[in-house]
Amino acid sequence: MEKKIYPRDFDKEIVYLKNVITKPNIEIGDYTIYNDYVHDPRDFEKNNVLYHYPIHNDKLKIGKFCSIACGAKFIFNCANHSMKSLSTYTFPIFFDEWNLDSANIREAWDNKGDIVIGNDVWIGYEAVILSGVTIGDGAIIGARAVVTKDVPPYTIVGGVPAKPIRKRFDDKTIEKLEKIRWFDWPQDKIKESIEFIQHGNIDELMKMYGVINNG
């Protein structure tokens, strides 16, 4: 993919997200795509990563081969007005108005941590991921779901707040997928294995894993 922005030259609604990111506190894996038919998908940082102010130094980390649908939002810590205070008003931000110490601005918000998205995750239309959430490899986030808690690998969640619907595969298949981590393979080996991946042939994929590891 190198520095290629559009996976398909004729389609300006889908971008390789890694190649349009400019902020150092956003990390995107190879081949992860974002689709937006409302706004320019190159404006992902501005339109989809919200309340992500440098003062918190919180991070958005998204793995490889993820598919992010139009309007998905990632809401960070500066949206979390402090619950420790008797008021939710952000007095520390307006320190000059209230004669407060400017060094304590971060007290205006609760800090719940980074947002970490695994590999091969599908995030549906207008889903919302809140700060502090980790989503495991292979998970699926339903359209307009609001994710407030961690999502296990290869689990489908949906709703407000998002709750588990079912696992994508049986436990043995998930165990194998977590072991082989096909998305970390060299590109040529992924190309050789696409048919197995697409048709759910975990046994052949395991054989390819053995070939890779036995050199």
Sign of the alpha-carbon torsion through 199, 203, 209, 214: negative
Smallest CA-to-CA distance from 64 within 20, 35, 93, 27 is with 27
Q: Could you give the angle at the alpha carbon of 49 between the alpha carbons of 46 and 50, nearest 5°?
A: 90
- State the catalytic residue, choosing from 39, 52, 56, 81: 81
CA distance 165 to 155: 8
Residue 81 annotated as catalytic: yes
- Active site amino acids: 81
